[in-house]
Structure formats: structure tokens, C-alpha cells
Chains A and B, each alone.
Chain A
Amino acid sequence: MQDSLEFTGETIDEAVAKGLKEMGVASSDVVVEVLEEPSRGVFGIGARPARVRLKLLRPPTPPRRNVLIEDAIDEDEDEEDEGDYHASLAKEISEPTEEGAVAQQVLTELLKRMNIRHFRVVVRRADIQENGENPPWILDITGKNVSHLIGRRGETLNALQYITRLITSKQIQRRANIVVDVDGYKAKRSERLEQLANRMADQAVRQNRTVYLEPMPPNERRIIHMTLRHRTDGETKSQGEGESRKVTIIPIQQ
């Protein structure tokens, strides 16, 4: 069997489901790469299906000792069986594991132990970074009841990312470059933060006084700093400690 195949569908989920069925594997056996987001087009003109590539993983760890034999051969599509892998595939796959795939596996194992049901971890590579750094792998958790995984001010999400990165780094023996997201929360949040940053900087300059933003976690403060770093009419600084650390925008007299 080929270890990487492409599938299409009306939605990403549909394309993935089709692929899993065709390949006869569970979603935890593959890393999903979104090649193209679906687009509806106008009145059906120019509509494009979602395109995904499913790549088989090397089975990570030996099955847990309490896994029943029936589980391994059961092809039930129930999401709760996500952890089982197709025993016969185990020998065929020898491709080296990659960062994104290992991280997906680790995150899946964590979520299962947190009793999260009906979720899927979609992996894709972030766009090329402005600063030329290696783009991270983005692991997006999607599903019915996953929004509580964000937590207050993204606290739970950040803990998930931190632990996933630690374990993945240990397994691949270098620092894993990954971002964990829930239903695109961080992506949307970062867009809003960029708008906020520009708006508040304009205000600081207009009123010629320092503007204090709400306390934010480090990754969000970073977005503010990065957004405003090219401005010559103001500068940003973080102040305060821990939970209450916040960005201030200080106007510069021209």
C-alpha cells in the first residue's frame, strides 16, 4: 500500500473520512495535510472541493498491554477506537517519523486521556514566516465539544501545547516546532490582536499618551510587539509580572 494518498470531498472532514475508509485505517494512524480548503464559489461556479493528503504513520508505541485482541481487528468507525491501529500495517511502514506526525500522535494520546471524545487533530504546515524562520506545524483540534480546551485566556490550550512540545521534543531529540490550536482559535485571535495593536497605537499617537493593553499571555503579547515593531511613531514594552503582564504602547515625539 502507498503510504501517502490524496482525497477530495466537499469539506475537509468529508475528504478525511473518505480517505480513512479507503485506506482502512483510523485517524490516529495518519497525518492529515490540508492541500486546499474547499471553496463554494459563486452560484456553484468556481466551487472547489477540499483536498487533503493522508500520510500513514509508523505505529508509535507498542499497543498498551490492556488492549484486547478484538480491538486490534475491529474496524468499527466509532471515534473512541481511534487509538487502535491496523496490526498488519505495522510492519510495512518504515518511513522516518516526522515532527508533525509525532506531535499529532502525542496530542491525540493526551486528549484521549483527558476523556475528550469525537475530536480530530488536523496537521498542516504554517505559511512561510516573515522572518525566514522555519514554519511550525499547526495541530488544530476540531470536534463537537472542544472549545473548553481553550480555557481562560487560552490557558488550557497553552498547557496542551507546552506538554505536547516537551514530549515530542524528547522523542525526536530536538526542539519540536509546533503550535496547538482549537478550531482555529489562535489564528482568529491573532488577526484580532493585530487590529487591536494598530488601533491602540493610533490612539496612543493621537492622544500623545501611553496606552496600556489588557494582560495577555506571552504568545499574544508577542503578536502585539511584532505587529508594531516597524512603527516609528511609537514603541511597545511589556510590564508587570506573570498573569498581569501587559503590553504598553508609548508614543514617540516626532
Chain B
Amino acid sequence: MERDLVEYIAKNLVNHPDKVEIYTKRTRSAFIIKLHVMQGDMGRVIGKQGRVANAIRTLLKATDNDKKHNRVILEIN
């Protein structure tokens, strides 16, 4: 679910949706989502002062998850 959400948002904001890649990793304390986009698209998924990235994080927090991981971490690079 969280992965789908990040993927949907990223692909609809960037100019090169085919270059969007997402990796996920589950650790004991968190669920980590790594988002990769083309260099030129970085600004679109981060936003001024990280506004877009923070909005995505806010939505991740409000996402109902069945597994109840402790927290979801979004990394963009």
C-alpha cells in the first residue's frame, strides 16, 4: 500500500515516469521506502524546502496499514 502510494505520486509528478524506481526494506523498527528518480526530476518529488516530500510523508503516516509497522521512512535519492 505505502509503496503504491509513493509510486503513484512520484510517477504523476516527474517528467520521466519510466525512470521511477522504488525499493523497500523492512527492518525491525521501520518500513523503509527508497525512491529513485532521474536527477532532473528530483526537485519535483522533493519540492521547495522539501514540501512535496513532507506531504508524501504525512500521507504515509495516515495510510491504514494492516501490518502496523512502527513507522514508515521515505528516502529520496
Contact = CB atoms under 8 A, between A and B. Distances in A.
Interface stretch (A105-113, A124-132, A207-215, A227-235): A105-113
A115 B59 contact: no
Contacts of B59: 110, 114, 156, 159-160, 163
A110 B8 contact: yes
A48 to B, nearest CB: 36
Interface residues of B, number: 20
Contact of A166 (B8, B13, B66): B13
A170 B13 contact: yes
B13 A159 contact: no
A183 to B, nearest CB: 15
A148 B13 contact: no
Contacts of A109: 8
Contacts of B77: none
B58 A113 contact: no
A109 B12 CA distance: 11
Interface residues of A, number: 21
B12 A167 contact: yes
Q: Is the interface of A mostly helix, strand, loop or mixed?
A: helix
Contacts of B9: 110, 163, 167
Contacts of B64: 114-116
B58 A114 contact: no
B5 interface: yes
A114 B13 contact: no
B56 A163 contact: yes
Interface in A161-183: 162-163, 166-167, 170-171
B4 A163 contact: no
B69 interface: no
B62 A156 contact: yes
B52 A113 contact: no
Contact of B1 (A113, A158, A160): A113
B76 interface: no
B63 A115 contact: yes
A71 interface: no
Given A162-B51, A166-B13, A170-B12, A113 B62 contact: no
A109 B8 CA distance: 8
**Residue among A160, A163, A170, A171 with max Cβ neighbours from chain B (10 Å):** A163
B39 interface: no
19 contacts: A110-B59, A113-B5, A113-B8, A114-B63, A115-B1, A115-B63, A115-B64, A148-B62, A151-B58, A151-B62, A156-B62, A159-B58, A160-B59, A162-B51, A163-B59, A166-B13, A167-B9, A167-B12, A170-B13
Query: Closest 4 CB pairs between A and B?
Result: A159-B58, A115-B64, A159-B55, A113-B5
